[in-house]
Chains A and B, each alone.
Chain A
Amino acid sequence: MTAQTTTRSIAPTTAREMTGAEMVVRALVDQGVDTLFGYPGGAVLPIYDALFNDNETHGERLRHILVRHEQGATHAAEGYARSTGKPGVVLVTSGPGATNAITGIVDALMDSIPMVVFTGQVPTHLIGTDAFQEADTVGITRACTKHNYLVKDVADLPRIIHEAFHIATTGRPGPVLIDIPKDVQFSTATYQGPDEVAFSHGYAPRTKGDSGKIAEAVRLIAKARRPVFYTGGGVINAGPAASAALRTLAAMTGAPVTSTLMGLGAFPAADPAWLGMLGMHGTYEANHAMHDCDVMICVGARFDDRVTGRLDAFSPNSKKIHIDIDASSINKNVRVDIGIVGDARSVLDDMIEAWKAEGLEANRTALDDWWRQIDAWRAVQCLRYTPSTTAIKPQQAIERLYALTRDRDTYITTEVGQHQMWAAQFYRFQEPNRWMTSGGLGTMGYGMPAAVGVQLAHPGSLVIDIAGEASIQMCIQELSTAVQYGLPIKIFILNNEWMGMVRQWQQLLHGERYSQSYSESLPDFVKLAEAYGAVGIRCSDPAELDAKIMEMIDSPHPVIFDCRVEKLENCLPMIPSGKAHNEMILPEGGDDIGKVIDEAGRRLV
Chain B
Amino acid sequence: MKPGAGWFKGGDMTTAPNPASAYDMSHEDVVENLATFALLVDNEAGVLHRVVGLFAARGYNIDSLTVAETDRRSHTSRITIVTRGAPHVLEQIEAQLSKVVSVRRVHDVTRDPNGIERELALVKVRGTGTDRVEALRVSDIFRAKVIDTTSESFVFEITGAPSKIDSFVELMRPLGLVELSRTGVLSIERGAEGM
A interface residues (Cβ-Cβ under 8 A, vs B): 138-139, 142-143, 146-147, 150, 167, 200-203, 305, 308-314, 326-328, 330-335, 577-578, 603-605
Where chain A touches its partner, the secondary structure class is loop
Q: Is the beta-carbon distance between A143 and B57 smaller than 8 angstroms?
A: yes
Q: Which residues of B contact A310 (CB under 8 A)?
A: 20-21
Contact partners of A333 in chain B: CB under 8 A: 22
Q: A328 with B95: in contact, given A333-B22, A605-B23 (CB under 8 Å)?
A: yes
| Known contacts A142-B53, A311-B20; A167/B101 CB under 8 A | yes
B95 to nearest A CB, angstroms?
4
Q: Does the CB pair A326–B99 fall under 8 Å?
A: yes
Tell me the complex Cα distance, A603–B22, Å.
12
Are A142 and B50 touching (Cβ within 8 A)? yes
Contact-residue bracket for chain B = 20 to 34
Query: Smallest distance from the beta carbon of B78 to chain A beta carbons, Å?
Result: 14
Which of A150, A314, A328 gathers the greatest number of chain B CB atoms within 10 Å? A328
Contact B92 A328 (CB under 8 A): yes
Contact indicator A578/B53 (Cβ below 8 Å): no
Shortest A532–chain B CB gap in Å is: 40
Interface string of B16-30 (1 = CB under 8 A from A): 011111111000000
If the complex has contacts A201-B102, A202-B104, A312-B20, are A335 and B88 also in contact, measured as CB distance less than 8 A?
Answer: yes
- Specify which chain A residues have a CB less than 8 angstroms from the CB of B46 in the assembled complex: 138-139, 142, 150
Please state if B92 and A332 are interface contacts (CB–CB under 8 Å): yes
Q: Is the CB of B23 within 8 A of A139?
A: no
Instruction: Please list the residues of chain B having a beta carbon within 8 angstroms of any beta carbon in chain A.
Output: 17-24, 42, 45-46, 49-50, 53, 57, 75, 88, 91-92, 95-96, 98-99, 101-105
17 A-B pairs (CB sep. < 8 Å): A139-B46, A143-B57, A147-B102, A150-B45, A200-B75, A202-B42, A202-B104, A305-B22, A311-B20, A326-B99, A328-B95, A330-B95, A332-B95, A335-B17, A335-B18, A603-B23, A605-B23
A563 to B53, CA, bound (A): 45
In the assembled complex, the Cα of A203 lies from the Cα of B99 at a distance in Å of 9
Task: Output the nearest chain A residue to B98 by Cβ-Cβ distance.
Answer: A327
Output the least CB separation between A585 and chain B (Å).
Answer: 17
| Residues of A close to B104: CB separation below 8 A | 201-202
| Chain B: minimal CB distance from A583 (Å) | 13
A314 touches B23 (CB 8 A): no
Q: Tell me which of B17, B21, B101, B105 has the highest count of chain A C-beta atoms within 10 A of its own C-beta.
A: B21
Closest to A146 in B: B101
State whether B21 touches A577 (Cβ < 8 A).
Answer: yes
- On whether the beta carbons of B49 and A334 are closer than 8 Å, the reply is no
- Complex interface: chain B residues within 8 A of A142 (CB): 46, 49-50, 53
Residues from chain A with a CB closer than 8 A to the CB of B103 are 202
Nearest to B22 among chain A residues (CB) is A305
A250 to chain B, nearest CB (A): 27
Most buried by B among A167, A305, A327: A327
Contact: A201 with B96, CB < 8 Å? no
> Are the C-beta atoms of A327 and B99 separated by less than 8 Å?
yes
- Contact between A311 and B22, CB atoms less than 8 A apart: yes
The complex places the Cα of A445 from the Cα of B123 at a distance, in Å, of: 58
Verify B21–A331 contact, CB threshold 8 A: no
Min CB gap B29→A, angstroms: 16
Report B168 CB to chain A, min CB distance, Å.
38
| Extra A-B contacts (7), CB below 8 Å, given A200-B42, A605-B23 | A139-B46, A139-B49, A146-B101, A201-B101, A201-B102, A311-B19, A328-B92
